[in-house]
Amino acid sequence: MIFKSINPYSQEVIAEHEVLTNSQLNQKLELAESAFKKWRSTSFQERADKMQKVANILRATKNELGLLITNEMGKIIAESIAEVEKAAGNCDFYAENAERMLHDAHYDTPFKSMSVYDPMGAVFAIMPWNYPFWQVLRYAAPAIMAGNVTLLKHAPNVIGCAKAIENAFLEAGFPEGVFQQIAIDIAQVESVIASNIVCGITLTGSEMAGSSVAALAGKHIKKSVLELGGSDAFIVLDDANIEKATTVATQSRMLNAGQACICAKRFIVTEKIADEFAGLFAHKINALQQGNPLHKNINMGPLARLDLAEKLSYQLEHSLKQGAKIIVGGERENCNFKPTLIDFVDANNIAFQEETFGPLATIIRAKNEKDAIAIANNHRYGLASAIWTEDREKAYQLARSIEAGNVFVNSLVRSDSRIPFGGIKKSGYGRELSEIGIKEFMNMKSVIIE
């Protein structure tokens, strides 16, 4: 079997990658097991030195790596380079902080008691194509700094990115087997999860994929962390700064051609300001320039695959049949989906109920702030949300009532190495990043000494 990398803009096949045979996969698992036995005993300083080298390699080659990202999945070149830089920053963060995060915890008891953190084995990662470097280094840097090893099953259309990351780890001096990318088919996934060397699974992807992997993890009694779909609410109240809100709304929805779990997707606006918000939002969306992602003046490239563009077209078509009104955009040519805004969406509309993974923004009109919060929470996803209001105290109270893993006030929703990230409901469970993220695949072992 062959995986093909197809340039989304030109539709040209740019690379082909052979899928591992079962025999080759078993060799990878054996190598991971052998590497873990040695890597788990290395010092934090040795790990940090090598992880810092990975960061330096990524920065030194960010232009070449950015070009690889753009050619494989289509985001504009400036966003690709910025993604490599962010991934490098995460390597820095864990190189500098892992030892502090995993220090022994002592308890106030009549006897000596403590908790220590031990690495557990290989973390098996199933990662998506939309942020092919950031998503990988987001989990891999903490897992490896903690003394674990990792096996990466990347999306079939970005195997070139997976190989580039593996090469960076090897160039930085990591032993073979600490970081391995494995080009495998879906049918081979269970054998990896079942392996004794695998201590847990982390997946970023669709709700359907998460459900399947969670079932396999449960079957084989393995820890799992899932970051799944999102239909993030962007709540705009009467007293919001509409100029700033529409600027950030445009960025939040259209960044990476709208292909992010934490893109704002449901713009819930109170009736009093809905017309003003919709008009200014439409104006800013219409000003975006879509085209060749390698050109400097382009704001947005194509969607990553033709099937994704076709699905978004289907969702738009049915949303309009269900009563939504198109304000701007709506046209598509192959993977190039024009930035689009629709209004008068309600909870029965497909654009409300499903995750729309692309540059399609939807406005839902709320009667008041209470209604806006109810609309925001009326969804099976709960990844992130944003609230726009000039009343910071009210924003804090409303943020506590939002059913999501992350709430941002008057700001772009984004991930940050220092802050826990993850969702609730059908958006998954567990957390990545920060001190919490590095402990997800550790054995917190209690030690008591009389």
As a dihedral over the C-alpha atoms of residue 401, residue 211, residue 136, residue 133, rounded to 10 degrees, the angle is: -80
Q: Compute φ and ψ for 181, nearest 5 degrees.
A: -95, 135
- Catalytic (active site) residue 91: no
pLDDT along the chain (450 residues), means of 10: 96 97 98 98 98 98 98 98 98 98 97 98 98 98 98 98 98 98 98 98 97 98 97 98 98 98 97 98 97 96 97 98 98 97 98 98 98 98 98 96 98 97 98 98 98
Q: Which residues contact 232 (CB under 8 A, 6 or more apart)?
A: 262, 263, 264, 265, 266, 381, 383, 384, 385, 386, 404, 413
- Catalytic (active site) residue 227: yes
pLDDT of residue 300: 97
pLDDT of residue 431: 98
pLDDT of residue 368: 97
Q: Compute φ and ψ for 367, nearest 5 degrees.
A: -70, -40
DSSP 343-376: E---TTSHHHHS---SSEEEEEEESSHHHHHHHH
Reduce the DSSP state of residue 224 to 3 states and report it: strand
Catalytic residue among 72, 227, 354, 369: 227
Strand blocks (E) in 186-314: 198-204, 223-227, 232-236, 264-270
Q: How far apart are CA 174 and CA 161, in angstroms?
A: 18
Catalytic residue among 199, 261, 263, 335: 261
DSSP 305-322: -HHHHHHHHHHHHHHHHT
Q: Are strands 198-204 and 424-425 parallel, antiparallel or unpaired?
A: unpaired
Evaluate whether 253 touches 263 at the Cβ level (below 8 Å). yes
Closest CA to 216 of 156, 121, 126, 119: 126
pLDDT of residue 442: 98
Reduce the DSSP state of residue 110 to 3 states and report it: coil
DSSP 8-33: TTT--EEEEEEPPPHHHHHHHHHHHH
pLDDT of residue 65: 98
pLDDT of residue 429: 98
